[in-house]
Amino acid sequence: MHRMSNEAITVLVVEDDQFTRTTLCAALRHHGLTVAGEAKNARGGLEFAKHANPDAALLDLDLGGGPSGIDLAHALRQLDPEIGIVILTTYEDPRMAGHSLATLPDNTKYLLKRDLSDSAALPRALTEAVEAAKGQVRAAITPPRPPRATASLTETQLEVMRLVAEGYSNGGIAEKRTVTEGAVEKMIHRIGRQLAIDTETQSNQRVLIAREYLRLTGAPVRRDG
């Protein structure tokens, strides 16, 4: 099979952090790809794509407030069924950002930012995504699998983990989810068991659950001592 050259691919980059966006664009240009345009949010990315028709889109999963990278991916695919899409994120499990695994468009490449030790990984991923979207490869790109740490957790449990990490009390979580405080306490204990977090007090358990959530989202976690 004849692979597309880097020079033949035009890319739209959508990333809400300006420094990261600039770095990504520089890396793509360094490897010979053409950055057709860049945007900081889904609206800007979609408006650009309507006029520029890029071959591929490199999208951050979490674009701050408003539509996510996955929302934008669906809009771009509706606009152009053959656009290659790469989702670049710190989230090991898309469900931690409020998305089920099934919400990813077909043939979307899911790439973790922490795995970009080699800058050539970006052009490789974009080439694969374009070829998959155009039907030029036999095997479709497989969706990401939840990491072992969260594979057994439900979306509800992941949501509770997020609320714990954001500092909500059991009462606050109960009010937000319209359940009893006792139900929240039981869920936190179940989450702790499934994450193999064994502590004598719930306060310590909540701290460790919050740390695990932050670790899995790629956020820096401060270690005491």
What one-character-per-residue DSSP string does 28-74 give?
Answer: HHHTT-EEEEEESSHHHHHHHHHHH--SEEEEES--SSSS-HHHHHH
Q: Which of 112-116, 190-194, 219-223 has the highest mean pLDDT?
A: 190-194
Residue with tokens 């899995």: 216
Better-scored residue on pLDDT, 83 or 120: 83
pLDDT at 90: 82
Only one residue has tokens 């650009």, namely 48
Q: Structural domains in the chain? A: 6-133 (3.40.50.2300), 148-216 (1.10.10.10)
Question: In angstroms, rounded to a whole number, what is the distance separating the alpha carbons of residues 69 and 48?
Answer: 15
Global pTM value: 0.74
pLDDT at 193 over 70: yes
**Is-contact 61 98, C-beta < 8 A?**
no
Share of the chain above pLDDT 70, in %: 82
Average of per-residue pLDDT across 186-197: 86
Q: What is the pLDDT of residues 121-157, one digit of tens each?
A: 888 889 989 998 888 665 556 556 666 667 778 888 8
Q: To 10 degrees, the CA torsion angle through 111, 114, 115, 118?
A: 120
